Amino acid sequence: MPRVDVPRRVLASPPRARRPRRRTRGRARAGDARAGTKAHSPPPPLRDVVFVLCRPEGAINVGTASRAMHNFGANDLRLVDPRCVDAGGRIDAEARMFAARGLDAVLERDGRTTTTTSVSAATMDATLVVATCPRPRENVPVVSLREGARRVAEEVARGGRVAVLFGTEKSGLSNDEMEHAQFAVCVPTAANVNARGFTKYTGGASGGETDTSSMSLNLGMAVGIVAYELFMAITDVRGDEVSVRGFASHRMTTAERERLIDDVVAARRALDIFPDEDDEEDRIFAKKERRAITSVFTSGPIPTKDATPLFMLARRARAFSELANATALVERQTRTFVRNDPRKPVSTKALNAHIRDTLGISLTRREIERAIERVAEDV
């Protein structure tokens, strides 16, 4: 008998068509709960979908395709006559790098990459073969990707196995490779919408009256788009719930928010220089600052975990203000500045800049004036 070229990890003969499994939706049955067993979780949506890359040349493209497959739970990748795999079945290092988490799950399962020399061998266990192409082809019917994904989902629901073919980066699938497919899918692009009639595939190069540069997708990008559409179609047919949930975090209550505002305001007051509680202007200024702080903390919901460092900052600021005695430090720097500055009267702007440069703090206008008053008699 002539020798048949079969891919590694692929059965030598097509398996029997599997019957559709009954899947229990919703909660586990009461009997299962009483028996202490869990309801079986459904298999990955793309478990019965094979991705076949025909004559891929770029190792990076193969790596990104593997990563895209892994994102959607597909792990059966087969390479037909690849240019980036050595004789020992090892993929190029660039492909392994770009595969990321898809390396062990998709690209190099059991340390080797699944390769074969023909499309026939790569698809021999498939009950449906789908090709991908950027334009209409005469030898195979072409449908939209969304319609093709619906057909694939129906085939998988019947217990079938589907192989999706992707062509080489330069010219796509050849006519001989296309003949293995029952139909082809096309991802609509701007070039597809604007093109009239048949256009010549240029592998992404522009030229002629019709610009086809936007017709051809990058191989890894195409695999990702197809995998997404198949994932959504299969989960829809199975009735699986696909939802994206945000991170649930406890939000601060009104009482917690008020306590945070009180702590921040108290910390701000603890950092006052030359405070005067009897001064009317100081009291008005303190009220304005409290309104400003309140406005910031009431502008939107605040997760409790985000408020924790603010509580810590406010309370530590109050504690360190008692230890540092900032008033004495400001008074000392003011006295030094006034003695060394021949200008009379003392420039409040220059003094504020001096204190900011030496102590790292900025003072209000009233604090600067009081600092000058404190040292005026000594200078």
Give pLDDT, residue 196.
55
**Distance, CA of 148 to CA of 245 (rounded, Å):** 29
Quick check: bond before 345 cis, omega within 30? yes
- Residue 357, domain extent: 254-376
Q: Is 242 left (phi over 0), alpha (psi -120 to 50) or beta?
A: beta
Q: Do 230 and 277 belong together in one domain?
A: no
* CATH number, position 95: 3.40.1280.10
Q: Residue 78's beta-bridge partner residues? A: 52
Q: Do 277 and 176 belong together in one domain?
A: no
Give φ, ψ of 165 to 5 degrees. Answer: -100, 135
Q: Do 270 and 158 belong together in one domain?
A: no
Q: Do 78 and 197 belong together in one domain?
A: yes
Closest of 130, 62, 125 to residue 93, by C-alpha: 62
Give pLDDT, residue 116.
86
Q: Do 200 and 227 belong together in one domain?
A: yes
- Is 258 part of any domain? yes
- Is 6 part of any domain? no
**Distance, CA of 355 to CA of 361 (rounded, Å):** 7
- Is 199 part of any domain? yes
Q: Do 230 and 298 belong together in one domain?
A: no
- Is 20 part of any domain? no
Give pLDDT, residue 28.
42
Give Cβ neighbours of residue 236 (< 8 Å, ≥ 6 apart).
Answer: 153
Q: Do 363 and 333 belong together in one domain?
A: yes
Domain count, the chain: 2
- Is 222 part of any domain? yes
Print pLDDT tens along the chain (379 aa). Answer: 444 454 444 333 444 455 555 444 444 444 444 444 445 677 888 999 999 999 988 888 888 888 889 889 888 889 998 887 776 666 666 666 666 555 555 666 555 667 888 999 999 999 999 999 877 777 789 999 999 999 999 999 999 999 999 998 888 899 899 999 999 998 877 766 555 554 444 444 444 444 545 567 888 899 999 999 999 999 998 887 766 565 556 888 899 999 999 999 999 888 888 888 788 888 888 899 999 999 998 888 888 888 888 888 888 888 877 767 788 888 888 888 888 877 778 888 888 888 888 888 788 888 888 888 888 766 5
Global model pTM greater than 0.85:
no
